Structure 1
Amino acid sequence: MSETAGLGDFLKTRRSQLSPDAVGVPSYGERRRVPGLRREELARLAGVSVSYYTRLEQGHSSNASPEVLDALATALRLDEAERRHLHVLARPARHHRRTRRPAPERLSEATGQLLDALVAVPAIVLGRRGDVVAWNSLGHALFAGHLDVDLAEVSRRPNMAQLVFLDPHTRELYADWPSKAKAVVGNLRLVAGQYPDDAALYELVGQLSAKSTEFASMWADHRVKPCATADYEMRHPLIGPLTVTQQTLNTGTGPSIVVATAPHGSPSHTALALLAQATASTTPYSPANRVSTT
């Protein structure tokens, strides 16, 4: 997907999602053929010419200034994450660089040491597309206990986006599944903007779109949301209901670590302790037997 196409699709979709009443544009009771704002209305709100905005939305202009982008973001009522995403989509196009399959993401020694230190906390290391790079025993038990704990012999690593949308166990694991699903899609949208040449990412999006109408609908919505911190109510088959805070710890140069915690002394904290006891006999991952990255 080209940067200009991504920018145009994002602008058009977000424009269609913004009602005239929400931004104080009078409609005079007229019936509209399409939902949302018209191009000329958004251009007027942003203080740019209609012809310039039209070229921008149609992908015929790739030199929008930061000031124009900020004006459009304000007119579209974008939040901070969406505003940054807009700037990423509008960066100058590369010189016809061919879409390619990136090298496999690898677990750095420092991230491996951090994972080893989190023995009492459910933790899973995810690549930017949601591929499982590694996990500790408790992380495996909480997020994917129905899968083989020893994935080193599996040629294809599990992908959390595929599990959320296509795996019945993972779908049942989240009491508010739509909230989790939207967070997954929103994060993938951010990644797609940052890595427009990632062939593996668009292969994943294509597979999910073909197999899940819910994913296809959420992807077409163009909502973006960074996976930072969120509370999720889970329905675990071994320990029952619990609520955990999932936090994404960015390592800066590689895969991120997702950890799940609960307030000390809470029923959910007790449930995690029970899960730890139940998985105590499972051999924790060492650098030699973490999930293969090749």
Structure 2
Amino acid sequence: MWGEERGTEPKASSGSIAVDTAGLAVLLRSWRARAGQRLGLGSPLPQVEVASELGMSERWYRELERGSIPRLDPRVLSRLADVLRLDADERAALHFHAFGGTPYATPSRSGRPADRPALQQLVDRQMPRPAYVTDTRWDIVTHNSAMAEWFPWVLAQDANLIRWALTSPEAREQLVDWSRHAYIYLAMVRFAMAERPDDPGLSALLHEILQDPACRRLWTERTCIVGNRDGHRFRLRLPHVAPAVIEVVTQVLLPAGHPGLRFVVLGDEPSSPADGN
């Protein structure tokens, strides 16, 4: 739950935003700049050095950063990830851009009558811990009563986790250190855009998010990539639930029988062995 170098304003078309701010060219430039910083160069790792490490011409790599995506040999792709010092999620995003994402089928709200009772039973069994299920665009598929008590916004017909977390004033009050959360949520959106670049619903969500000035600034500041937030520990300010700040850890499971869905439970922060002494 709670996974650039361009600073222009969002374009009118949601699709153009996705291409301009989430494409491979932007990521490569950002990763190359970060690699230079990690090597202590004081500037981005030169294109010629990246190309040399790959056994390719500088022109070839320059075209890659300009948005041309040639046929990439898996070995070249792996070497590129090594040279740019990419982590696992960033490597996955690079793979998605080079070879295409996994064609997840996004279940529609009206097309799940057989699945919903089973999913509902699963989340209800997590009581009293809040639990919910989202689809590939973070629309809320189902939730238990604890989730609704903690976060009443899930009761709305068009409830969407990312939209709420990034654009709602309520979220900025309830998520302690909101900007840190926002960075991660935006990183998750960037991962999803790499995985499913032609998803119109995802592009529309990104366009909506980037209308918010704070989100736009955070999006252009860093090109982080995060696949999911499993194991993430964070704090919540929910006075209607508890007077003190609540500390929780997120558990994210991907149901094998429902590709694209995420089953999420907000558990208690685990105590250390010393706490029991």
State whether TM-score is above 0.5: yes
Tell me the distance in 1 between the aligned counterparts of 2:98 and 2:127: 42
Paired position in structure 1 for 2:31: 14
Please state how far the C-alpha of 1:205 moved relative to its aligned partner: 0.5
Please state how far the C-alpha of 1:56 moved relative to its aligned partner: 1.7
How many residues are paired up? Answer: 241
Aligned mate of 2:39, from 14, 20, 23:
23
State the one-letter code of the partner of 1:119: M
What SS does structure 2 have at the residue aligned with 1:114? helix
Tell me the distance in 1 between the aligned counterparts of 2:47 and 2:75: 19
* Residue 255 (str. 1) matches residue 261 (str. 2): yes
* Residue 163 (str. 1) matches residue 169 (str. 2): no
Please state how far the C-alpha of 1:200 moved relative to its aligned partner: 0.8
Please state how far the C-alpha of 1:202 moved relative to its aligned partner: 0.5
What SS does structure 2 have at the residue aligned with 1:59? coil
* Residue 244 (str. 1) matches residue 264 (str. 2): no
Tell me the distance in 1 between the aligned counterparts of 2:136 and 2:107: 12
What SS does structure 2 have at the residue aligned with 1:205? helix
Summarize the Cα distance change of 1:214–1:41 in structure 2 as closer, same or farther, 3 Å threshold.
farther
Query: Is the 8 Å Cα contact of residues 63 and 92 (structure 1) preserved in structure 2?
Result: no
Tell me the distance in 2 between the aligned counterparts of 1:15 and 1:186: 18
* Residue 112 (str. 1) matches residue 120 (str. 2): yes
Paired position in structure 2 for 1:36: 44
Tell me the distance in 1 between the aligned counterparts of 2:36 and 2:121: 50
* Residue 233 (str. 1) matches residue 235 (str. 2): yes
Please state how far the C-alpha of 1:92 moved relative to its aligned partner: 5.8
Q: Give CA-to-partner distance per residue, 1:114-171, whole Å, 9 cap, x none.
A: 11322322102112212112111111222x23x3x643xx4xx121112112212211
State the one-letter code of the partner of 2:66: Q
TM-score where L is the length of structure 1: 0.73
Aligned mate of 2:136, from 124, 128, 150:
128
Please state how far the C-alpha of 1:182 moved relative to its aligned partner: 1.6
* Residue 188 (str. 1) matches residue 196 (str. 2): no
Tell me the distance in 2 between the aligned counterparts of 1:225 and 1:264: 23
Please state how far the C-alpha of 1:219 moved relative to its aligned partner: 3.0
Paired position in structure 2 for 1:274: none
Summarize the Cα distance change of 1:123–1:92 in structure 2 as closer, same or farther, 3 Å threshold.
closer
Tell me the distance in 1 between the aligned counterparts of 2:55 and 2:40: 15
Summarize the Cα distance change of 1:244–1:39 in structure 2 as closer, same or farther, 3 Å threshold.
same
Paired position in structure 2 for 1:74: 82
Please state how far the C-alpha of 1:72 moved relative to its aligned partner: 1.3
Q: Extract unaligned runs of 5+ from structure 2.
A: 1-17, 273-277
Paired position in structure 1 for 2:12: none
State the one-letter code of the partner of 1:55: E
Query: Is the 8 Å Cα contact of residues 131 and 143 (structure 2) preserved in structure 1?
Result: yes
Percent pairwise identity: 27
Matches within 5 A, 1:212-223: 212-220=212-220, 221-223=222-224
Tell me the distance in 2 between the aligned counterparts of 1:7 and 1:55: 12
Tell me the distance in 1 between the aligned counterparts of 2:80 and 2:270: 44
Matches within 5 A, 1:202-213: 202-210=203-211, 212-213=212-213
State the one-letter code of the partner of 2:250: Q
Query: Is the 8 Å Cα contact of residues 188 and 227 (structure 2) preserved in structure 1?
Result: yes
Aligned mate of 1:65, from 73, 97, 112:
73
Query: Is the 8 Å Cα contact of residues 102 and 200 (structure 1) preserved in structure 2?
Result: no
Summarize the Cα distance change of 1:264–1:24 in structure 2 as closer, same or farther, 3 Å threshold.
closer
Q: Give CA-to-partner distance per residue, 1:48-74, whole Å, 9 cap, x none.
A: 321221122223342111111111111
